[in-house]
Amino acid sequence: MQIAIIGAGATGLAAAHELLKAGHTLTVFEATERPGGLAGGFKAPGWDWSLEKFYHHWFASDADLLRLAEEIGVRQRVIYNRPQTVVYYQERFYPLDGALSTVLGGRTWADRLPLSGSLARGLLALRYPGFNVIDVLRYGLAGAYLVLTSDWRRLEQFTAHEWLSRWMGRRVYGLLFRPLLQGKFAEYAEQVNMAWMWARIKARTPMLGTYIGGFQAFFDDLAAHLQRRGATIVYGARVESIVSEHITGHLRLTVHPAAPDRQPAGLANPQSFDRVLVTTSPRLMTKLAPQLPADYLGALNHLKSLGAVVLIVALNRQLSRAGYYWHNLPKSAGFPFLALCEHTNFVSAQHFGGQHLVYCGDYLPVDHPYFAMNEADLRAAFLPALRRINPDFDESWVQHTWVFKEPYAQPVPFVNHSRAIPPVRTPWPGLFFASMSQVYPWDRGTNYAVKLGREAAAQMVAGL
């Protein structure tokens, strides 16, 4: 069968891998010049590793991703360590997650105890000055319930705001969860359902992973593996329309190549395929195939999402004196962005020519002023906040900055979201659609993109 995949991100490449294994002929069209999509990266002069345009790490529980890495023979290049994540309280930062051995002053045997992670979280919560003993108890008990239950369908009937304020209490919710929801979901913060929060708590591990060379190296290796197995990947090829030919049963793609000489030999334009998988945002999908039935287009248009804006700052020295990796920042305390992530407290600065790399990132509606601001304006808005991480910070430490903006970065799951997710199989025979908005209840991530890509591939060839 002739199959086309639109998009060489994690979903498209994982689907391509499965379809190749099943013996199909594949063409992947990618609008940009590299694979990786949202998880791709770039390399500045003097760096050995690439840096993700948007902060990325894997969890130890990312089983689908690890299986894919195993299957393409690069599992040993996925490496894990345990950088420190901290939360804010009155101008100071406190870890609420970590190894039990660290909490107990280096007693490494403690990490082998059953439930050592939960014990560590409990002890760290006791040390967090924002909580009293009752708060710690409610945090611990409700947290244990969330870790043990699998009944996310019950939880999706409530908003996270309702459920957490009720069971963990207003203070725990206000200090820990409200800032997270406000940062991630802006005006939708109080409407996000509890199953999303459950999945986040359930799947996250303190061990975080990356790829030797950076995420871009992973996607380059994956794309090279697929090409060796016979896939055609056309970069700089933006698909502009999909038309269903009811007479032949084929789908016709009109592709706008960056340059005519990039068109693979033997492929005309428009090109016909038996099956097509689209992995773009839902909004783009409605533009590619506007003749799809109105109710399907309506379901795609109904899905809400937020964009992301990131300022990456290269410094000539470490920012966090304590070596913290991830700082969750409450906007209510006047921070101009949601998260400050010092990448080089996770991956050594030696891979980046000794530069210390800091992400200042936020999720926002696309009409937010940050989307219209240029690099100089964003520097002026964001850099003063670095002094709240390290009071000695001075702008003379800044060697370089980069800005990345993405309109489709974080889908918003409302109450009973499972009923609003459009199926992968579209109403047109042969046309399939798989995007971050269909990843649920898990928070979107490359692991779940791989899982979705696999499931989409299975549906595309089911019954053959």
- Contact residues for ligand FAD, defined by CB under 6 A: 6-12, 29-32, 37-39, 54-58, 238-239, 279-280, 284, 308, 361, 406, 409, 435-436, 444-447, 449
Q: Which is nearer to ligand FAD, 8 or 431 (CB)?
A: 8
CB of 40 vs ligand FAD, minimal distance in Å = 7
Instruction: Round the CA-based radius of gyration of the chain to a whole number and report it.
Output: 23
CB of 163 vs ligand FAD, minimal distance in Å = 24
CA dihedral for 388, 393, 394, 398, sign (positive or negative): negative
Q: Which is nearer to ligand FAD, 11 or 165 (CB)?
A: 11
Which residues of 264-355 form beta strands (DSSP E)? 271-273, 275-278, 305-315, 326-328, 339-342
CB of 119 vs ligand FAD, minimal distance in Å = 26
Q: Which is nearer to ligand FAD, 171 or 204 (CB)?
A: 204
CB of 236 vs ligand FAD, minimal distance in Å = 9
Q: Which is nearer to ligand FAD, 165 or 435 (CB)?
A: 435
How many helices (DSSP H) and strands (DSSP E) are in the chain?
Answer: 16, 20
Residue 284 is inside which H or E element, if any? helix 282-288
C-beta neighbour count of 63 within 10 angstroms: 13
Cβ neighbours of residue 226 under 8 Å, at least 6 residues apart?
13, 16, 17, 20, 26, 28, 233
For residues 196 and 181, the answer to whether their CB atoms sit within 8 Å is no
Question: What b-and-e string marks burial along 131-150, b requiring 16 or more CB atoms within 10 Å of the CB?
Answer: beeebbebbbebbeebeeee
Reported as half-sphere exposure (CB side, CA atoms, 13 A), residue 292 has a value of 29
Q: Which is nearer to ligand FAD, 54 or 167 (CB)?
A: 54
- The SS3 call for residue 326 is strand
CB of 338 vs ligand FAD, minimal distance in Å = 10
Rounded-to-integer distance, Cα 335 and Cα 453, Å: 37
Q: Which is nearer to ligand FAD, 355 or 438 (CB)?
A: 438
Give the β-pairing of 356-364 and 305-315. antiparallel
CB of 307 vs ligand FAD, minimal distance in Å = 8
CB of 8 vs ligand FAD, minimal distance in Å = 5
Q: Which is nearer to ligand FAD, 125 or 452 (CB)?
A: 452
